[in-house]
Amino acid sequence: MSWGETIRTGLAAIRSHAMRSVLTIVGILIGIAAVILTVGLGLGTQKDVSESISSLGSNLLIVRPGSVTSSEGIRGGFGSSTSLTLDDAAALGSAVAAPDIADVAAEASTSVSLENGDTNWTTTVTGTTTSWPQVRSRTLLQGEFFSDDDAEAGANVIVLGSETAAELFGSAWAAGRSLTIDSVTYEVIGVLAEQGSSDDTNLDDLAVVPMATYSAQISTSTTGASVQTIYIQATAQDTLSAAYQEAETLLLNLHGITDASAADFSISSQDALVSTATAVYRTLTVLLVGIAAIALLVGGIGVMNIMLVSVTERTREIGLRKALGAKPFAIRRQFLVEATTLGLVGGVLGVGLGVTLALALPTVLGSSIVVSWPAVFGALAVAVGIGVVFGVYPATRAAKLAPVDALRAE
Amino acid sequence: MAEAAVIRLDNVRKVYSSGEIECEALRGVSLTIDEGEYVAVVGPSGSGKSTLMNILGCLDVATEGRYEIAGEDVSQMDEVDLAEVRGRRIGFVFQQFNLLPAMSAWRNVELPLSYAGVGPAERKRRAVAALESVGLGEKLGNRPGQLSGGQQQRVAIARALVTEPTLLLADEPTGNLDSASAREILDVFDQVHRSGRTVVLITHDWDVARRTDRSIEVRDGMILERPQAPASQADES
């Protein structure tokens, strides 16, 4: 009996047991689709989180002022002192003193009311340098960020977050319009692209002006040159710790402090946050892979049972085929073809369903699902493997029986 | 005469053992059936005639003794070679027909040919011819479920004959049929015998056995020297 014949026989047998074949296929299908979706959901969540972490700015160090100790010896909280200045930021930006620092953006901010005619909106106005979009990983939706000239001149220009722009100008094009802060008119030269929220900070509700403009017109602080935060971008992820060392040494020097433990500033990095989050989501992925494995196992056991029952029921048929001259080998091959066909049909449909849902669900759920091809092929291999093993093994045993025993079986 | 023997059983024993209990189903059966003979193996249930049929058909192997089909010793063969012998030498007709329900009549009939390695066109030609020879030329495409019991058994006979076997072996072929269908089937066997083929019927029914040329009576795992047919039939035979 040739392979072609065997395949024809196998397919005919599958058609003649339609209900059982459908059940087997559905079992495999659901198992594989479940694996694709659970693994995909895990990877998607991981991707979402790592994206929102990197949206905070990549390779970033954050320098904040240290605490003030009052004359009574009471230490204030971090950030309460005004020890960081624009000069510090400029020094950190020097390529000679700090070669591993790519860019620096100093920020000072306060809450201010913006007015457009009758509409007003209170938001955080930040004074900063031209390097800000680069360091904070922001892009512009409309117009452009302020230029070096604007920064130097302290021009009355302002860049708005997308939400702030929407609050003030509705859906209209905001760039080129103007607004007032304390009766001073500013030209809106750009609107930032959406970024989403990080922790409790809304990254889309803000306004940015040149630092000179900020200190001259908006800042309520008496010490005009002080800044609240300096963001430092390292040249690469690898040089982040070198950049940290350089920044610390430089600032200690500038502030005339010899003992690092007495520093009037603190430097934090997002590295710890990123690695914690990565660990958390690695755990999450392990969990989801575990769930997927259980789904596959349960599906596999279902397939196994159907196959075992199916072959046992067909012991008579095997006996008959042997009585008609079928060699054990021909029986084995027929069941191999049947099990493989069921496995592959179920598997391919399962991959189809899984991938379709993986593409369709994110638009409904709002969370991304990443199709992991290793998971797809792993699930396919396991499901088809289980089907084949438990389809062929009992058939092989039945094929070894003397036909009289097989024919007698009920 | 010895060359023409289709079947030669020499002191064949068959012992079934389940655990401690041993059951001797055949206790030294010797038997020769020549080519072209029409033989009935008769006996009540439990006599060992089914065991004899299984061994004659190579569906089971003897515990002891020698069995030759057309001069070929099959008593020591493994399953692979036995399958080959079954396919080439023996055509089976079972009490329960044993047709595959999902296949049409001619597909059922061609099945043994496909295991014998015959090509598709040749298979179909021979399957159709075999069905025509049992009077089912009109029912080629019908499935077993669409046929009467008698017709199903005729499909089974066509399937048994399609390989042109040395021996046609029928196990209670009329056991599941009404008497009219049973007569028709026995007529088919008579016709097969007339065409020159060796036919062995296994039955418990002397009315069936009576139609054959020779009755071999099995009782308690042995062949009786002199068949003890009921008086009326014994007179006729």
Q: Does B122 touch chain A (CB under 8 A)?
A: no
Q: Does B79 touch chain A (CB under 8 A)?
A: yes
Asked casually if ipTM beats, i.e. exceeds, 0.90, the reply is no
- Between A336 and A222, name the one with better pLDDT: A336
Q: Which amino acid is at A178?
A: S
Mean pLDDT across chain B, nearest whole number? Answer: 88
- Determine the average pLDDT of the residues in A73-78: 54
Q: What is the pTM of this model?
A: 0.66
Query: A253: which 2 tokens?
Result: 């020097």
Residues in A closer than 8 angstroms to B112, CB to CB, are 324-325
- Between B192 and A215, name the one with better pLDDT: B192
Q: What 3-state DSSP class applies to A191?
A: strand
- CA neighbor of A109 nearest in space, from A7, A213, A191, A204: A213
**Per-residue pLDDT tens over the stretch A104-142:** 888 888 888 888 888 888 898 988 988 888 888 888 888
The percent of residues in chain B predicted with pLDDT above 70, rounded, is 93
- Between A27 and B231, name the one with better pLDDT: A27
Query: A341: which 2 tokens?
Result: 């066909």
**Per-residue pLDDT tens over the stretch A8-39:** 878 888 887 788 888 888 888 888 888 888 88
What 8-state DSSP symbol labels residue B146? G
Q: How far apart are CA A365 and CA A86, in angstroms?
A: 45
What sign for the dihedral angle of Cα A370, A373, A378, A381?
positive
CB contact under 8 A, B112 and A325: yes
In this predicted structure, the answer to whether residue B1 has a pLDDT above a threshold of 50 is: no
Pick among B26, B61, B100 to test the A interface (most A CBs inside 10 A)? B100
Q: How far apart are CA B28 and CA B26, in angstroms?
A: 6
Query: Residue A236: which pLDDT band, with cuts at 50, 70 and 90?
Result: confident
- Determine the average pLDDT of the residues in A280-293: 78
What 8-state DSSP symbol labels residue A146? P
The partner residues of A158 in beta bridges, in order of sequence, read A188
- Between A187 and A269, name the one with better pLDDT: A187
φ and ψ at B175, to 5 degrees?
Answer: -65, -25
Residues in B closer than 8 angstroms to A317, CB to CB, are 100
- Between A16 and A326, name the one with better pLDDT: A326
Q: What 3-state DSSP class applies to B71?
A: coil
Residues in B closer than 8 angstroms to A405, CB to CB, are 60
Q: Does B100 touch chain A (CB under 8 A)?
A: yes
In this predicted structure, the answer to whether residue B233 has a pLDDT above a threshold of 50 is: no
Q: Which amino acid is at A268?
A: S
What sign for the dihedral angle of Cα B80, B86, B92, B95?
negative
Taking CA atoms, what residue in B is nearest to A330?
Answer: B115
Candidate ranges A149-153, A212-216, A233-237, A323-327; pick with highest mean pLDDT: A323-327
Contacts of A189 (CB under 8 A, 6+ apart): A143, A144, A145, A146, A150, A157, A158, A159, A175, A176
Give the per-residue pLDDT at A317: 87
Q: Which amino acid is at A271?
A: D
Residues in A closer than 8 angstroms to B104, CB to CB, are none
In this predicted structure, the answer to whether residue B228 has a pLDDT above a threshold of 80 is: no
Give the per-residue pLDDT at B32: 93
**Per-residue pLDDT tens over the stretch B107-147:** 999 999 988 888 889 999 999 999 999 999 899 999 999 99
Q: How many residues does chain A have?
A: 410
Q: How far apart are CA B156 and CA A74, in angstroms?
A: 105
Mean pLDDT across chain A, nearest whole number? Answer: 81
Q: How many CA atoms lie within 13 A of B26 on its CB side?
A: 28
- Determine the average pLDDT of the residues in B9-16: 91
